[in-house]
Structure 1
């Protein structure tokens, strides 16, 4: 009988579902996981919430096959080490989205009507009705940054208050945003125009201090900023400085560096501070528990790995080709100016044809930096659809001589106009290389590390100018390719450098050579 540990406070629907299916279940929310693991070394599966699943925990469970996070984020699980131990990891995305959306509604109303303070003073025998003059949510302008499951649920909850809804999601199709009742616009416009701004974006380096001093300075006096996404998305020092300078901003948050008791850095700047209550509802807990149990039964009974987030590629597929797919997608995104992506068509040549579904996840990750990582093929395809991207794998034409290569054609949209970027790549001596970018063939450039791309009118002396500018800033060129398109009299310089090139320096070089386009890729 398979033994399952549930070392967390989770609805008993998970344990009951598993017991009915014939599993032995140990659910204990009070004993530390490492102690339970030592007592139950024959455990084959874990269901956790915020408990950390470390290499030490996995080493103490030699029979472990599966770990399921009853929730969306899984950074409390060492998924890389899990893969080394042949342990699959799953999550239950979307189970908590309604709960978080409702929490945002509660925070807005509590702040606008001073409910927390009014309750405290009234219980103390005071009558401060005049002091707590409130505001109405009705007909306010609300900006939602991030229109994923939570953002879209929030739109539904807000609509009864007759708001003007503005939204920003770089990867959501404009028409799709309009269809759900949101006017898509820029982040800058949201911060300038909205009475309420609510953040629903992933954490990590790409969104760290996304809400900075410049955006905060655009906010109207009396505006409200809500962060129920991840700690660090808001530059709270910049927010504190703006408040100290006299700017009237409400800040409501429930995210912290650690979900644990202790001092909270946001306390000095937040007007409403909660202990990460977003997913903390009976319904969300039940939904996540039920989904986790059902996924586990399907995994062991039917071999269903569609929800695995640390999937391993099949035998016979070189991991370098998966890395190539990621690099080509990232290059296409940068070459297209990071515009919203609408369609991706891929061709896999040679032996790669039989593995084509396994390339969906690395292509997703290259195209959408904020996308969930390590998804299995069906989940990656669903994520692309969620972002409004049509994804198609084409059959190669038999007369094409490309062996074990990948071609990506990416269609992007900008204000109603469509642009196509086409890239091709191969793996040579174990190194993933781009062989073509649009009309420029014969590149064979290694994209790992820092690479700068400069597209310009072909004429003598350009490479020397670029090299001189890099040299003056202490940057060495590790490799260079500079093919020309004689039909257009244009050239493309692709330079791999030994250190990152700042946007300021790249823009300076682009100005000196009158570049048509210039961008860098750091992967």
Structure 2
């Protein structure tokens, strides 16, 4: 399924940041060679990375295009943690490198930190601690508020946001949430009310943010949004820096419209100089959301398990640039993906001109499977006409760059075959379609090519010929192969009708030269000849 799995070489993994030592043990137990070399400069990592198939990192290593260019054997980058700001994902995708993270390993820890900051804001604990330890007894200076009965507004109600909601409900808070991806059923299940952003801003006594930083969420608490908040609101951010306009938040704190703010993350980190420092009723921590012993162990173990599963078994978990494929799914999907890639490669080699549309139809048993890896495999085969380094990771990106529309079609009914994959491409000459199935042993087989029924294995070097169905042709092509020292492995025939157009697929032991293709084109009755390679 991957280049790693096609060899007997043990995958090599580099752990370039400090993480729990059990991560290295997991890699070794699961069949990988692992080196732990931390604290290297970017230049040192560039010099070293070419030897490795996997790179396990935390936040210290920044994976730049220069490192990826040098990583000629790299298959996967694993980030022990949720944030991947230190990985150039688009460039990694273009290089065919899977990028994984561990979004759930520090969820509880981060959620608990948000709750801790809510309580710290409500009772002004950091400020009271500082003055008490300074020898004061400022009992009357700190009048807090109860959280019981208050409304907590979640911006983002995914994994971490849902945990915060459950803890807040335990504190007898009312929880509302703005999240475009939150379904009504999920909101009911979690016990929260789904609202618009404007409604949340107007109603919430406390606001916590739990969303990634994207073009849509950047400065989601802008100056305009902060002006819409309820007077006296308290704001907590343990998610990502850049979600809040920090200068606008400072002004809102100084005016008293925002009663308090607690940030664990900043737009620029490390935040050694920030406009919020010294603002009234502002508390902060140095990105401690994931900083518990339990979380650090969890993310290290999870990233090792995920990377090893991919390198050894082909399982894809928590990938940011490739469809997920569990280690349990991988054995079942492997023959389908081999068939899909072969069909994509066949139609990609035979179709002429641009391919504005590609349709992948899964019929019968194939319709019940995880379609995304199958689609990625088809695209890897098709896009090989454009790039020799294409794989399942970068093929969808290459297709998107070329403006190719990709459609997935499921058809649960069974036709002639129990399971069938059909790949159709739109060309200037019209649609061109190929189809294949799996035989009982799981062996992929071509069963149709451009409307002509033909049974063949797609493997190695092949010759595709379209000819007139007439006596003597098979003898002529056999003679030509013999005269040029080409040994024929299999002979596969199909035709539309007797005396009409026929198709011949030959598998041969060696690559067919352009000279032999030209000679085949000159044979009587030949309409088209194409050398293929799989």
Task: Settle same-fold status: TM greater than 0.5.
Answer: yes
Q: 1:142: how far off?
A: 0.8
Which residue in 2 is equivalent to 1:12? 21
Which residue in 1 is equivalent to 2:194? 184
Alignment equivalent of 2:312, drawn from 294, 301, 310: 301
**How many residues are matched?**
361
Q: Once superposed, which parts of structure 1, at least 4 consecutive aligned residues long, lie more than 4 Å away?
A: 317-325, 347-351, 353-356, 359-362, 396-399, 426-430
Q: Structure 1 CA distance, aligned partners of 2:267 and 2:225?
A: 22
Alignment equivalent of 1:291, drawn from 293, 302, 305: 302
Secondary structure at 2:13's aligned position in 1? strand
Which residue in 2 is equivalent to 1:418? none
User: Residues 381-428 of structure 1: CA distance to partner in whole angstroms, max 9, x if unpaired?
Assistant: xxxxxxxxxxx96428999xxx978xxxxxxxxxxxxxxxxxxxx967
Alignment equivalent of 1:31, drawn from 28, 31, 40: 40
Secondary structure at 1:81's aligned position in 2? helix
Q: Structure 2 CA distance, aligned partners of 1:322 and 1:396?
A: 27
Flag the 1:35–1:246 CA change in 2: closer, same or farther, 3 A: same
- Residue 117 of structure 1 pairs with residue 127 of structure 2: yes
Q: 1:248: how far off?
A: 3.9
Secondary structure at 1:226's aligned position in 2? strand
User: Residues 444-500 of structure 1: CA distance to partner in whole angstroms, max 9, x if unpaired?
Assistant: xxxxxxxxxxxxxxxxxxxxxxxxxxxxxxxxxxxxxxxxxxxxxxxxxxxxxxxxx
Normalised by the length of structure 1, the TM-score is 0.60
Secondary structure at 2:82's aligned position in 1? coil
Flag the 1:31–1:86 CA change in 2: closer, same or farther, 3 A: same
Q: 1:122: how far off?
A: 1.8
**Structure with bigger gyration radius:** 2
CA contact (8 A) 1:356 1:393 kept: no
User: Residues 82-121 of structure 1 correspond to what in structure 2 (within 5 A)?
Assistant: 82-121=92-131
Flag the 1:259–1:214 CA change in 2: closer, same or farther, 3 A: closer
Which residue in 2 is equivalent to 1:256? 266
Flag the 1:124–1:237 CA change in 2: closer, same or farther, 3 A: closer
Which residue in 1 is equivalent to 2:154? 144
Which residue in 1 is equivalent to 2:498? none
Which deviates more from structure 2 when the two are superposed, residues 209-218 or residues 144-153? 209-218
Q: 1:293: how far off?
A: 0.9
Normalised by the length of structure 2, the TM-score is 0.59
Alignment equivalent of 2:232, drawn from 222, 225, 248: 222
Which residue in 1 is equivalent to 2:56? 47
Q: 1:183: how far off?
A: 1.5
Alignment equivalent of 1:164, drawn from 166, 169, 174: 174
Alignment equivalent of 2:139, drawn from 129, 151, 154: 129
Structure 1 unaligned segments of length 5 or more: list them.
326-346, 363-373, 377-391, 406-425, 431-523
User: Residues 84-483 of structure 1 correspond to what in structure 2 (within 5 A)?
Assistant: 84-260=94-270, 262-267=272-277, 269=279, 271-311=282-322, 315=341, 316=344, 357-358=371-372, 394-395=410-411
CA contact (8 A) 2:78 2:99 kept: yes
User: Residues 417-445 of structure 1: CA distance to partner in whole angstroms, max 9, x if unpaired?
Assistant: xxxxxxxxx96769xxxxxxxxxxxxxxx
Structure 2 unaligned segments of length 5 or more: list them.
1-9, 324-336, 377-390, 394-407, 416-421, 430-534
- Residue 63 of structure 1 pairs with residue 73 of structure 2: yes
CA contact (8 A) 1:7 1:32 kept: no
Secondary structure at 2:140's aligned position in 1? coil
Q: Structure 1 CA distance, aligned partners of 2:354 and 2:169?
A: 46
RMSD, aligned CA: 3.9
Secondary structure at 2:66's aligned position in 1? helix
